Structure 1
Amino acid sequence: MPKIPEPDRRNPWYRDNDQSILEVFDVSAGTRTVLKEFDYLIEAPNWSPDGKFLTYNSSGRIYRFDLDTRESHEVFTDFVTRCNNDHVLSPDGCSIAVSHGTKEDGQSRIYTVPLTGGVPRLITPLAPSYLHGWSPDSKTLAYCAERGGEFDVYTIPVNGGEETRLTDAPGLNDGPEYDSAGEYIWFNSVRSGLMQAFRMRADGSEQTQMTFDEEWNTWFPHISPDRKLVVMLSYHKGDLEPWEHLPHKNVALRLMDAGGGTVRTIAELFGGQGTINVNSWAPDSNRFAFVSYRIREH
């Protein structure tokens, strides 16, 4: 694994020297394929429902990456130019919901915008709010939000309105995303001591722990479109606090059946924050996209 230069050890969030490798993992073959390398930071690929393109964020903007040409084009988002790595495509692939640090206070709020470009629509006036899921019926967004000093999972109608709190366990509850049937929301929570994967009914009931790792902090369980597999990002226990999701770490991508059971490591890489923050499964449920990193030496 690459050695982290001294300036980055002092500040793990300094990422001006990051180089990004956009990759695809094929579950059946167990292989990694590099799509493109970037001499700068990109994060959090989404795979389009039609299988033709990915989206990712970079320098506060959203980009569309064509899988045939392997060329990127910026999505016009007007005044929304501080997008972070929490963004999700609509079920029809025509719109994207983004989390943007608003001008008035710099805190993250959720907006929707046509993928062809347009004027964004504010969905969550309250902040901070970090988007992770869009219901398959297109009616609801799921997100992590801090309210009153607690980070919990919330949902809100896609056109805005009153938000609904789904979790209330102490500590961080994050990364909520719907399965393709809209039956369950998967998320990660630190309530057991280490960060683990959980799922619950879409109404917040039956909150169930799905991973029981003793040596890993597991983040962002992403369920495949066929609802059979879940891929997760895991940090080695002791590398960071359970509630931290840092860049510049030796991490693992791990896979399990959606019904639970054994979790197996399928890839090791240098990354963390930005690698697989949001669901990036291909519609064939056999491939997913992710980003690994290296640090440019000077």
Structure 2
Amino acid sequence: MIRTLHPSQRCEVWVASVGGQAELVYSTDDVLLEAPNWTLDGGALVLNGDGKLWRLDLSTRSLDAVPLTGVPDLNNDHVLAPDGETIFLSANDGHIYRASLSGGPASLITEEDGTFHFLHGVSPDGKELAYVGIEAGDFTQPGKLMTIASDGGATARVDVGPGHCDGPEYSPDGKWLYLNTESFTSAPGHAQLARVRVDGSVFEQLLESGTVDWFPHLSPDGQYSTYVRFPIGTEGHPADLPVAVVLVSTEDWTTPLHTWPLFGGQGTLNVNSWSPDSGRFAFVAYPRGDSFQDSAKD
């Protein structure tokens, strides 16, 4: 399903720094943009919206659709390949595709295996993808952590327990997958941050909190991570909630360096949005009425 803005709601794309500053770089009430990636040249953000892929030039603040063909409507799971020229995409048909970031035809990677495939991570060498598999698209069932070669073929499961998991993303050295999981608790929806060795040999919780924590994204240098903090008791990662984007040092996940409260959730920070120099990251807010801009200055 393609998400749209509610009446009186806006979409705001923000860029924040590890120093705590935040800048509004784009605002629209026409299209609901989601899940920014940062291009390798540092000059643009790549987002989805209205089932399409968009490129937001950070110097001109212009938004242009990437002209893709041969792919169904897109969702907010897309990640750039290490070459900076290729992008991997999840579509609403439950499959993963590969395309050029400049546009053109997309090619199908996953096969019909009875599951929906939600992409989140690309290995540093570009040879492997990490995704969440949901049996028959039945969202009452827990998602499973899966991997597949980036050119397709056989899939493999990485065991992270029985609880639902999401957002698997490779560490910069390629040795770990960072994710959120409900395997550490019996409380419904109580996602916590974790990591697992790519071979499944070590599985550990990164932060024990009372909130619902989703989508850990490591900076390219591995020194920082962002994640989205949902309210206590949240099940899944729904839209239109008071959430917070949190910045931490990977040496201390328990002490936030900076926190940005906003109205959002789904679409705010679903994929890695770090700049290539590890100094900034992007996220999306969906305010109704008062702008997030005022609180971002606090």
Q: Tell me if TM exceeds 0.5.
A: yes
TM-score by length of 2: 0.88
Question: Which ranges of structure 2 fall in alignment gaps of 5 or more residues?
Answer: 291-298
Q: Does the 8 A contact of 2:97 with 2:110 survive in 1? A: yes
Aligned partners of 1:99 and 1:131 also within 8 Å: yes
Q: Residue 69 of structure 2 is aligned with which of 63, 69, 78?
A: 78
Structure 2 equivalent of residue 235 of structure 1: 230
Structure 1 portions without partners, runs of 5+: 1-12, 103-107
Q: Does 1:175 align with 2:167?
A: yes
- Contact (CA 8 Å) 2:262, 2:287: kept in 1 or not? no
How far does residue 14 in structure 1 lie from its aligned partner after superposition?
6.8
Which residue of 282, 286, 289 maps to 2:279?
286
User: In the alignment, is the contact (CA less than 8 A) between 2:145 and 2:159 conserved in 1?
Assistant: yes
Whole-angstrom CA distance in 1 between matches of 2:119 and 2:74? 11
Give the deviation of 1:167 after TM superposition: 2.3
Matched, 1:139 2:134: no
Cα drift, residue 296 of structure 1 = 6.7
Q: Please tell me the root mean square deviation across aligned C-alpha atoms, in Å.
A: 1.7
Aligned match of 1:37: 27
- Are the aligned partners of 1:167 and 1:173 in contact in 2 as well (CA < 8 Å)? no
Match of 1:114 in 2: 100
Aligned residue for 1:128, secondary structure, equals strand
Please report the TM-score for the alignment, with normalisation by the length of structure 1: 0.88
Q: How many Å separate the matches in 2 of 1:227 and 1:168?
A: 22
- Structure 1 residue 225 corresponds to structure 2 residue 216: no
One-letter identity of the residue aligned with 1:26: S
Letter paired with 1:229: Y
User: How many residue pairs align between the two structures?
Assistant: 275
2:116 to 90, 111, 128: 128
Structure 1: distance between partners of 2:123 and 2:171? 8
Which residue of structure 1 lines up, in the alignment, with residue 15 of structure 2? 24
Identity %: 39
Query: How many angstroms does 1:168 deviate by?
Result: 4.5
Give CA deviations for 1:71-123 in whole Å, capped at 9, x if unaligned.
12211221324100000011111011111122xxxxx2100011111211111
AA at the equivalent of 1:271? G
**Alpha-carbon distance in structure 1 between the residues aligned to 2:150 and 2:38:** 20
- In 1, are the aligned partners of 2:167 and 2:215 still within 8 Å (CA)? yes
